[in-house]
Amino acid sequence: MYSTTMPASSLKPHTLDSIRGFGGSRVASRKTPITVLRSLLCLILMAALSTTGFAEEKQLWAKSIIGKKAPAFVVEKWLGSEPKREGKWVLIDFWATWCPPCRKAVGHLNEFHSKFGDKLVVIGVSDEKEEVVRKLTAPKIEYASAIDTQGRMKKELAVTGIPHVIIVDPQGIVRWEGFPFLNEHELTEKVIADLLAGSPK
């Protein structure tokens, strides 16, 4: 999904020309091989990349609200008992039964619920009808599940791709967001442990 290669347009032909003329006639008189100059250019570019960085930004299929107050959490119906959220971290997963990555995420969310349940409330929210969600028996959802057929919070976040997860701290601030399987930005137990410990990586 991401390319770590700089686009060809980033290396303009005039860059080589400008280095070729560096030092005026002294460069010409020494007849410095162009291969040496190209190597020098590569070293300069590598040094610039290592210091300034051209790291790819995390791609989102939703509006970013990281570090901001989460929108009001609204559901139409809980498919089970409503979890107590006061004073806890809350992980909200926007998903659907027809979505393969969403179903794959269920197992991971079950693990997060089991391991961090004393501090973290895991909630799956689908905009499908109740009977559709209840028909899904495998994988089994072991965390809190709810529906909102109007997709109100999902629309507020402008979610265009699922699963989409946000993790909200006890003060209501979003500390993690995104597609949980995104390469180099995966949502893992370590990521959650660091968040709960107050040292997000």
Q: pLDDT above 70 covers what percent of the chain? A: 71
Neighbours of 68 (CB within 10 A): 12
* Beta pairing partners, 145: 124
Cα→Cα distances 160→21, 164, 191, Å: 51, 9, 24
* pTM summary value: 0.72
**Distance of alpha carbon 193 from alpha carbon 16, whole angstroms:** 48
pLDDT tens track for 162-178: 999 999 999 999 999 99
Is a pLDDT exceeding 80 seen at residue 88? Answer: yes
Is a pLDDT exceeding 50 seen at residue 198? Answer: yes
**Distance of alpha carbon 160 from alpha carbon 60, whole angstroms:** 9
Q: What is the pLDDT of the chain when averaged over all its residues? A: 80
Q: pLDDT above 90 covers what percent of the chain? A: 70
Q: How is residue 182 written in tokens?
A: 């995104």
Domain range annotation of the chain:
8-52, 77-196
Contacts of 191 (CB under 8 A, 6+ apart): 176, 200, 201
Architecture (CATH level 2) of domain 77-196: 3-Layer(aba) Sandwich (3.40)
Phi, psi of 166 (to 5 degrees): -125, 145
